Amino acid sequence: MFTKKNILSMRDFSRSEIDLVLEGAEKLEKYALGKKSDLLQGKIMANLFFEPSTRTRLSFESAMKRLGGEVLNLGSQEASSISKGETLSDTVRVISNYCDVLVLRHPKEGAARMAAQFSSVPVINAGDGAGHHPTQTLLDLYTIKRESFLDGVSIALVGDLKYGRTVHSLAYALAMYDAKMFLVSPEQLKMPDDIKSDLKDLGAEVIESTSLNDVVKDLDVLYVTRIQRERFPDPEEYGKVADSYCVSLDLLNDVRKNLIIMHPLPRVNEIDVEVDKTPHAKYFKQAFYAVPVRMALLTLLLGD
Amino acid sequence: MERELRIKSIHNGTVIDHIRAGQALNVLKILRITGASKAVISVAMNVPSKNITSKDIVKIEDRELASDEVDKIALIAPNATINIIRGYEVIEKHKVQLPDEIEGIIKCANPNCISNTKEPVSPKFVLHEVDPLQFRCFYCDRILVGDFIDYVKT
């Protein structure tokens, strides 16, 4: 049974709750592809975005509308003018009177958890600062389930593993599926020790490496993230590091036939466009899976 | 006993004993006990002790501190004992217990945490690890470690 009132952090999810979301998404996929549905007819979702976002906001909107629901959209401009210097807690108290579910993106960490205390309707965290983005993790898991397999999957998480906290939530969730995790990052962007020890406690096999080449042959999933320029004081250093983690056709010579490549997008130059044509490329499919996963969350929260 | 000579026994009130040496003033800070109240307060610092090399003691007269009030000091004085005194007799004695949750005493070290804004919420933490002591921010999940006195709200 799904008893959650809000979707705030992956930390709140048990494996069986994740499975419920993923099973729900599978059932709803046909509607994400365009089949008519009135599952959420009469329900209103408010998008409250204090920071710009395209794919997250649009995929939530698409999910709600394809299930027959209505959407109130407050982009960053409107959101800030509505709040006119008022506290987030007041804004949430007001807006939750106008909708059945509230989707929030906010620059402060912990904003969604606080909003949930003041909202009269369920709150979905669509990203809070450098904090959580649980619906991204769930759609990543769904992509792995649909395009590869979850139990005991051999996956490399590549890029900024130090500051990229969505990677932390994904790793945390994958540990519940006994994943074998290769953590591939430059020395200065390695995953923090406390998170690694959490992963091991959960039963995951964790192997660190600085070389993508060394591990790529052993993978079912290659999950690539962006390395941000601002993490490097020296631009030349950044250039070298960024290049060394670029996924190109050359890298894919000896990989497993069923390897899938994922990326939360937008990509800059982490994946060469040539790779898009290979059967390994699943990052655009991943972007599509955002819709059924968000549909599943909306129906679980709004279902009677 | 030597410590009885240092500070005289109190008639009624609370004695906080076995405070980590040097932390007595911080204990008072956490308990929000300032010289502004009328209560007679005695503080002894760096007193030689049998169990720990030295310790601090605080005696608060005519006030019995409730457990949930005092447990907060476990943050900086995990071995402290609380003695409730009535008519010079110890009528209750117990060790401070680390609370599972702590609200309003310390603030989050993450400057970008929602609890460090003008929002009407008080910072809240959940016990994460006992040794070494770690608390996790209820809002932003930041783990606080180290000297907790640095995090005490002023």
Question: For residue A242, what are its two tokens?
Answer: 């960024």
Whole-number pLDDT of residue A118: 98
**Within this chain, do residues A165 and A107 fall inside the same structural domain, yes or no?**
no
Cα–Cα distances in angstroms (integers) from residue B84 to residues B11, B63, B66, B81, in the given order: 10, 9, 9, 10
**Within this chain, do residues A279 and A151 fall inside the same structural domain, yes or no?**
yes
CB-facing half-sphere around the CA of B131: CA atoms within 13 A: 2
Whole-number pLDDT of residue B4: 52
Q: Is residue A1 part of a domain?
A: no
**Within this chain, do residues A141 and A218 fall inside the same structural domain, yes or no?**
yes
Q: Closest residue of B to A130, CA-based?
A: B112
Closest Cα in chain B, distance from residue A46 (Å): 21
ipTM score of the complex? 0.89
Question: For residue A25, what are its two tokens?
Answer: 């998404």
- pLDDT tens digits along B84-115: 999 999 999 999 998 999 998 899 999 999 99
**Quick one: average pLDDT of B117-122?**
95
Q: Closest residue of A to B140, CA-based?
A: A110
When scoring B121, B138, B140 by the number of chain A Cβ atoms within 10 A, the one with the most, hence best to mutate, is: B140
CB contact under 8 A, A109 and B139: yes
User: For residues A165 and A41, is the Cβ–Cβ distance under 8 A?
Assistant: no
**Within this chain, do residues A119 and A182 fall inside the same structural domain, yes or no?**
no
Whether the per-residue pLDDT at B5 is higher than 60: the answer is no
Q: Of A99-113, A169-183, B57-71, which gets the smallest average pLDDT? A: B57-71
Closest Cα in chain A, distance from residue B98 (Å): 22
User: For residues A216 and A255, is the Cβ–Cβ distance under 8 A?
Assistant: yes
Q: Is residue A53 part of a domain?
A: yes
Q: Is residue A39 part of a domain?
A: yes
**Within this chain, do residues A127 and A165 fall inside the same structural domain, yes or no?**
no
Question: For residue A304, what are its two tokens?
Answer: 């009677």
CB contact under 8 A, A110 and B115: yes
Q: Of A137-146, A159-168, A227-236, B68-77, which gets the smallest average pLDDT? A: A227-236
CB contact under 8 A, A110 and B139: yes
Distance CA A45, CA A299 (A): 11
Whole-number pLDDT of residue A197: 84
The boundaries of the domain holding residue A70 are: 10-131+290-302
Q: Is residue A5 part of a domain?
A: no
Q: Is A79 left (phi over 0), alpha (psi -120 to 50) or beta?
A: alpha
Q: Is residue A180 part of a domain?
A: yes
β-sheet bridge partners, residue A224: A158
Mean pLDDT of chain A, nearest integer: 92
Distance CA A265, CA A286 (A): 9
Whole-number pLDDT of residue A242: 79
Phi, psi of A180 (to 5 degrees): -95, 115
User: For residues A299 and A39, is the Cβ–Cβ distance under 8 A?
Assistant: yes
Distance CA A204, CA A103 (A): 32
How many structural domains does chain A have?
2
Whole-number pLDDT of residue A51: 86
3-state SS string for chain B? CHHHHHCCCCCCEEEEEEEECCCHHHHHHHCCCCCCCCCCEEEEEEEECCCCCEEEEEEEECCCCCHHHHHHHHHCCCCCEEEEEECCEEEEEEECCCCCEEECCECCCCCCEHHHCCCCCCCEEEEEECCCCEEEECCCCCEECCCHHHHECC
User: Cis link prior to B78 (omega < 30° from 0)?
Assistant: no
pLDDT band at A83 (very low <50, low <70, confident <90, very high): low
Distance CA B18, CA B23 (A): 10
Q: Is residue A3 part of a domain?
A: no
**Within this chain, do residues A80 and A185 fall inside the same structural domain, yes or no?**
no
**Within this chain, do residues A140 and A263 fall inside the same structural domain, yes or no?**
yes
pLDDT band at A304 (very low <50, low <70, confident <90, very high): low
Phi, psi of B14 (to 5 degrees): -130, 135
Nearest CB among A9, A109, A132 relative to B112 is that of A109
User: For residues A262 and A221, is the Cβ–Cβ distance under 8 A?
Assistant: yes
Q: Is residue A70 part of a domain?
A: yes
pLDDT band at B6 (very low <50, low <70, confident <90, very high): low
- pLDDT tens digits along A155-179: 999 998 988 778 989 999 999 999 9
Measured N-to-C along each axis, helices A88-95 and A76-83 cross at an angle, to the nearest 10 degrees, of: 100
User: Cis link prior to B120 (omega < 30° from 0)?
Assistant: no
- Residues of chain A with Cβ-Cβ distance to B112 below 8 Å are 107-109, 129-130
A11 contact B CB<8A:
yes
- pLDDT tens digits along B22-40: 999 989 988 888 878 788 9
Distance CA A165, CA A167 (A): 5
CB contact under 8 A, B141 and A131: yes
Nearest CB among A88, A128, A130 relative to B119 is that of A88
β-sheet bridge partners, residue A222: A156, A261
Question: For residue A80, what are its two tokens?
Answer: 């800030």
Question: For residue B53, what are its two tokens?
Answer: 């090399």
**Within this chain, do residues A50 and A68 fall inside the same structural domain, yes or no?**
yes
Whether the per-residue pLDDT at A264 is higher than 60: the answer is yes
**Quick one: average pLDDT of B47-71?**
86
Nearest to A290 by CA among A81, A117, A59: A59
User: For residues A34 and A10, is the Cβ–Cβ distance under 8 A?
Assistant: no
Q: Closest residue of B to A8, CA-based?
A: B139
β-sheet bridge partners, residue B143: B136
**Residue A183 has what DSSP assignment?**
E
Cα–Cα distances in angstroms (integers) from residue B11 to residues B15, B31, B33, B38, B66, in the given order: 11, 21, 19, 16, 18
Q: Is residue A146 part of a domain?
A: yes
**Within this chain, do residues A203 and A260 fall inside the same structural domain, yes or no?**
yes
Q: What is the CATH number of the domain that holds A109?
A: 3.40.50.1370
**Within this chain, do residues A83 and A152 fall inside the same structural domain, yes or no?**
no
**Within this chain, do residues A117 and A157 fall inside the same structural domain, yes or no?**
no
Whole-number pLDDT of residue B52: 66
**Within this chain, do residues A109 and A237 fall inside the same structural domain, yes or no?**
no
B132 contact A CB<8A:
no
Distance CA A247, CA A245 (A): 6
Task: Give the global pTM.
Answer: 0.90
pLDDT band at A300 (very low <50, low <70, confident <90, very high): very high
- pLDDT tens digits along A220-256: 999 999 887 777 778 888 887 777 789 999 999 999 9
More confident residue, B8 or A192: A192
- Residues with Cβ within 8 Å of B90's Cβ and at least 6 positions away in sequence, in order, are B15, B83, B84
